[in-house]
Chains A and B, each alone.
Chain A
Amino acid sequence: KNQVEQSPQSLIILEGKNCTLQCNYTVSPFSNLRWYKQDTGRGPVSLTIMTFSENTKSNGRYTATLDADTKQSSLHITASQLSDSASYICVVSGSNAGNMLTFGGGTRLMVKP
Protein backbone atom coordinates (compact mmCIF):
# COMPACT_ATOMS: atom_id res chain seq x y z
CA LYS A 1 0.00 0.00 0.00
CA ASN A 2 1.29 3.44 -0.93
CA GLN A 3 2.01 5.54 2.14
CA VAL A 4 3.64 8.84 2.96
CA GLU A 5 4.66 9.54 6.53
CA GLN A 6 5.75 12.96 7.73
CA SER A 7 7.50 14.04 10.89
CA PRO A 8 7.22 15.83 13.13
CA GLN A 9 3.47 16.37 13.18
CA SER A 10 3.99 19.85 14.55
CA LEU A 11 6.91 22.12 15.23
CA ILE A 12 7.41 25.47 16.94
CA ILE A 13 10.54 27.50 16.24
CA LEU A 14 11.71 31.05 16.82
CA GLU A 15 11.90 33.50 13.97
CA GLY A 16 15.28 33.40 12.26
CA LYS A 17 15.99 29.79 13.16
CA ASN A 18 16.34 26.92 10.70
CA CYS A 19 14.27 23.76 10.67
CA THR A 20 14.00 20.48 8.77
CA LEU A 21 10.86 18.55 8.00
CA GLN A 22 10.95 14.86 7.11
CA CYS A 23 9.01 12.71 4.67
CA ASN A 24 9.25 8.94 4.22
CA TYR A 25 7.33 7.16 1.50
CA THR A 26 6.58 3.70 0.18
CA VAL A 27 5.06 4.69 -3.16
CA SER A 28 6.23 2.43 -5.94
CA PRO A 29 6.99 2.82 -8.75
CA PHE A 30 8.03 6.35 -7.93
CA SER A 31 7.59 9.29 -10.28
CA ASN A 32 8.11 12.49 -8.32
CA LEU A 33 7.76 14.10 -4.94
CA ARG A 34 6.40 17.54 -4.15
CA TRP A 35 6.34 19.69 -1.09
CA TYR A 36 3.25 21.86 -0.72
CA LYS A 37 2.75 24.77 1.66
CA GLN A 38 -0.75 25.31 2.99
CA ASP A 39 -1.53 28.54 4.80
CA THR A 40 -4.44 28.48 7.22
CA GLY A 41 -7.73 28.77 5.37
CA ARG A 42 -6.21 28.34 1.93
CA GLY A 43 -5.47 25.59 -0.54
CA PRO A 44 -2.03 23.97 -0.80
CA VAL A 45 0.55 25.63 -3.04
CA SER A 46 3.45 23.75 -4.62
CA LEU A 47 6.92 24.68 -3.34
CA THR A 48 9.20 22.19 -5.08
CA ILE A 49 9.07 19.09 -7.24
CA MET A 50 11.75 16.43 -7.31
CA THR A 51 12.13 13.55 -9.72
CA PHE A 52 14.02 10.30 -9.27
CA SER A 53 17.33 11.71 -10.50
CA GLU A 54 17.34 14.86 -8.40
CA ASN A 55 18.99 14.99 -4.98
CA THR A 56 18.35 18.56 -4.00
CA LYS A 57 16.36 21.55 -5.16
CA SER A 58 16.03 25.03 -3.75
CA ASN A 59 13.29 27.61 -3.87
CA GLY A 60 14.47 30.68 -2.02
CA ARG A 61 14.87 29.80 1.65
CA TYR A 62 13.35 26.35 1.04
CA THR A 63 15.64 23.46 0.13
CA ALA A 64 14.29 19.99 -0.56
CA THR A 65 16.37 16.84 -0.67
CA LEU A 66 15.50 13.41 -1.98
CA ASP A 67 17.11 10.04 -1.38
CA ALA A 68 15.33 7.67 -3.74
CA ASP A 69 17.21 4.67 -2.37
CA THR A 70 15.97 5.10 1.17
CA LYS A 71 12.70 6.71 0.00
CA GLN A 72 13.21 9.77 2.16
CA SER A 73 12.86 13.47 1.53
CA SER A 74 13.43 16.51 3.68
CA LEU A 75 12.44 20.15 3.47
CA HIS A 76 14.88 22.56 5.07
CA ILE A 77 13.76 26.09 5.85
CA THR A 78 16.52 28.61 6.42
CA ALA A 79 16.21 31.81 8.47
CA SER A 80 12.54 31.23 9.19
CA GLN A 81 10.04 34.07 8.97
CA LEU A 82 6.65 34.50 10.57
CA SER A 83 5.07 33.96 7.17
CA ASP A 84 6.52 30.44 7.10
CA SER A 85 3.90 29.44 9.66
CA ALA A 86 1.80 26.92 7.75
CA SER A 87 1.29 23.23 7.14
CA TYR A 88 3.81 21.55 4.87
CA ILE A 89 2.54 18.54 2.97
CA CYS A 90 4.68 15.95 1.22
CA VAL A 91 2.99 14.48 -1.85
CA VAL A 92 4.32 11.55 -3.85
CA SER A 93 3.28 10.60 -7.39
CA GLY A 94 3.48 7.06 -8.66
CA SER A 95 4.39 6.41 -12.28
CA ASN A 96 1.70 3.84 -13.01
CA ALA A 97 -1.22 5.01 -15.11
CA GLY A 98 -4.00 5.95 -12.75
CA ASN A 99 -1.61 6.01 -9.78
CA MET A 100 -2.33 9.44 -8.59
CA LEU A 101 -1.05 11.26 -5.57
CA THR A 102 -0.38 9.97 -2.09
CA PHE A 103 -0.46 12.69 0.54
CA GLY A 104 1.39 12.83 3.81
CA GLY A 105 -0.41 14.01 6.90
CA GLY A 106 1.55 17.25 6.94
CA THR A 107 3.75 19.04 9.44
CA ARG A 108 2.24 22.05 11.16
CA LEU A 109 4.97 24.69 11.58
CA MET A 110 4.58 27.69 13.81
CA VAL A 111 7.23 30.42 13.75
CA LYS A 112 7.17 32.66 16.80
CA PRO A 113 8.71 36.12 17.08
Chain B
Amino acid sequence: DAGVIQSPRHEVTEMGQEVTLRCKPISGHDYLFWYRQTMMRGLELLIYFNNNVPIDDSGMPEDRFSAKMPNASFSTLKIQPSEPRDSAVYFCASTRTGRVGEQYFGPGTRLTVT
Protein backbone atom coordinates (compact mmCIF):
# COMPACT_ATOMS: atom_id res chain seq x y z
CA ASP B 1 0.00 0.00 0.00
CA ALA B 2 1.33 3.45 -0.91
CA GLY B 3 -0.03 5.05 2.23
CA VAL B 4 -1.75 8.43 2.30
CA ILE B 5 -0.70 10.51 -0.68
CA GLN B 6 -0.65 14.28 -0.61
CA SER B 7 0.15 16.81 -3.28
CA PRO B 8 1.87 19.09 -3.74
CA ARG B 9 4.61 18.52 -1.15
CA HIS B 10 5.53 22.18 -1.22
CA GLU B 11 3.53 25.20 -2.30
CA VAL B 12 4.66 28.80 -2.38
CA THR B 13 2.08 31.36 -3.35
CA GLU B 14 1.37 35.02 -3.04
CA MET B 15 -1.15 36.51 -0.67
CA GLY B 16 -4.60 36.58 -2.21
CA GLN B 17 -4.11 33.58 -4.46
CA GLU B 18 -6.19 30.42 -4.29
CA VAL B 19 -4.46 27.31 -2.99
CA THR B 20 -5.71 23.75 -3.40
CA LEU B 21 -4.21 20.87 -1.46
CA ARG B 22 -4.96 17.29 -2.45
CA CYS B 23 -5.16 14.01 -0.58
CA LYS B 24 -5.64 10.39 -1.50
CA PRO B 25 -6.43 8.25 1.56
CA ILE B 26 -5.48 4.63 2.07
CA SER B 27 -7.83 2.34 0.19
CA GLY B 28 -10.55 0.95 2.44
CA HIS B 29 -10.30 3.72 5.01
CA ASP B 30 -13.62 5.48 5.61
CA TYR B 31 -12.36 8.37 7.74
CA LEU B 32 -10.31 11.25 6.37
CA PHE B 33 -8.86 14.10 8.40
CA TRP B 34 -7.25 17.41 7.50
CA TYR B 35 -4.78 18.91 10.00
CA ARG B 36 -2.66 22.02 10.14
CA GLN B 37 0.64 22.12 12.01
CA THR B 38 2.58 25.19 13.07
CA MET B 39 5.35 25.70 15.58
CA MET B 40 3.13 27.92 17.70
CA ARG B 41 -0.05 25.83 17.77
CA GLY B 42 1.13 22.29 17.05
CA LEU B 43 -1.29 19.96 15.26
CA GLU B 44 -4.84 21.24 14.84
CA LEU B 45 -7.74 19.28 13.40
CA LEU B 46 -9.45 21.32 10.69
CA ILE B 47 -12.15 18.97 9.43
CA TYR B 48 -12.89 15.30 9.11
CA PHE B 49 -15.05 13.17 6.83
CA ASN B 50 -16.71 9.82 7.33
CA ASN B 51 -17.83 8.00 4.20
CA ASN B 52 -17.17 11.17 2.18
CA VAL B 53 -19.50 13.26 4.37
CA PRO B 54 -18.08 16.17 6.41
CA ILE B 55 -18.76 15.39 10.07
CA ASP B 56 -17.06 18.17 11.98
CA ASP B 57 -15.63 21.32 10.42
CA SER B 58 -15.46 23.33 13.62
CA GLY B 59 -11.68 23.51 13.31
CA MET B 60 -11.78 25.32 9.99
CA PRO B 61 -10.40 28.75 10.85
CA GLU B 62 -12.71 30.83 8.68
CA ASP B 63 -14.75 30.94 5.52
CA ARG B 64 -11.63 31.21 3.40
CA PHE B 65 -11.09 27.51 4.04
CA SER B 66 -13.20 24.83 2.41
CA ALA B 67 -12.83 21.07 2.03
CA LYS B 68 -14.49 18.53 -0.20
CA MET B 69 -14.46 14.79 -0.58
CA PRO B 70 -16.18 13.93 -3.87
CA ASN B 71 -15.39 10.22 -3.55
CA ALA B 72 -13.73 7.72 -1.24
CA SER B 73 -10.31 8.14 -2.82
CA PHE B 74 -9.91 11.89 -3.07
CA SER B 75 -10.21 15.02 -0.97
CA THR B 76 -9.23 18.65 -1.38
CA LEU B 77 -8.59 21.49 1.02
CA LYS B 78 -8.92 24.92 -0.57
CA ILE B 79 -7.88 28.30 0.76
CA GLN B 80 -9.25 31.32 -1.05
CA PRO B 81 -7.90 33.95 -0.72
CA SER B 82 -4.71 32.84 1.00
CA GLU B 83 -2.98 34.95 3.65
CA PRO B 84 0.54 34.84 5.12
CA ARG B 85 -0.83 33.50 8.41
CA ASP B 86 -2.02 30.40 6.56
CA SER B 87 1.61 29.35 6.15
CA ALA B 88 1.90 25.94 7.80
CA VAL B 89 2.24 22.25 7.07
CA TYR B 90 -1.09 20.68 6.18
CA PHE B 91 -1.49 16.97 6.85
CA CYS B 92 -4.11 14.58 5.62
CA ALA B 93 -4.73 11.37 7.59
CA SER B 94 -7.03 8.42 7.14
CA THR B 95 -8.28 5.50 9.18
CA ARG B 96 -11.12 3.04 9.34
CA THR B 97 -14.17 2.75 11.57
CA GLY B 98 -13.32 1.37 15.01
CA ARG B 99 -9.70 2.51 14.81
CA VAL B 100 -10.11 6.27 14.80
CA GLY B 101 -7.16 6.70 17.13
CA GLU B 102 -4.87 4.87 14.74
CA GLN B 103 -4.55 7.43 12.00
CA TYR B 104 -2.15 7.14 9.11
CA PHE B 105 -0.70 10.47 8.13
CA GLY B 106 0.45 11.61 4.74
CA PRO B 107 3.79 13.37 4.24
CA GLY B 108 2.17 16.79 4.45
CA THR B 109 2.09 19.86 2.23
CA ARG B 110 4.30 22.74 3.32
CA LEU B 111 2.47 25.93 2.36
CA THR B 112 4.21 29.29 2.30
CA VAL B 113 2.14 32.38 1.57
CA THR B 114 4.22 35.48 0.88
Q: Taking beta carbons and an 8 Å cutoff, which residues of A are in contact with B?
A: 31-32, 34, 41-46, 49, 89, 91, 93, 98, 100-101, 103-106
Contacts and interface: CB of A to CB of B under 8 A. Distances in A.
B102 A46 contact: yes
A-side interface mostly? strand
B102 A103 contact: no
Contacts of A41: 107-108
Interface in B66-111: 91, 93, 100-103, 105-108
Nearest to B43: A103
A32 B105 contact: no
B102 A34 contact: yes
B101 A91 contact: yes
Contacts of A100: 33, 45, 48, 56, 100
B42 A98 contact: no
Identify the interface centre among B48, B91, B103, B106: most chain A CB within 10 Å of its CB.
B103
Given A43-B106, A98-B55, A49 B42 contact: no
Interface of B: 4, 33, 42-45, 48, 55-56, 91, 93, 100-103, 105-108
Given A100-B45, A105-B42, A44 B105 contact: yes
Contacts of A101: 45, 100-101, 103
Given A43-B108, A46-B103, A101-B100, 10 more contacts: A43-B4, A43-B91, A44-B91, A46-B102, A93-B101, A100-B56, A101-B101, A105-B42, A106-B42, A106-B43
Contacts of A45: 105
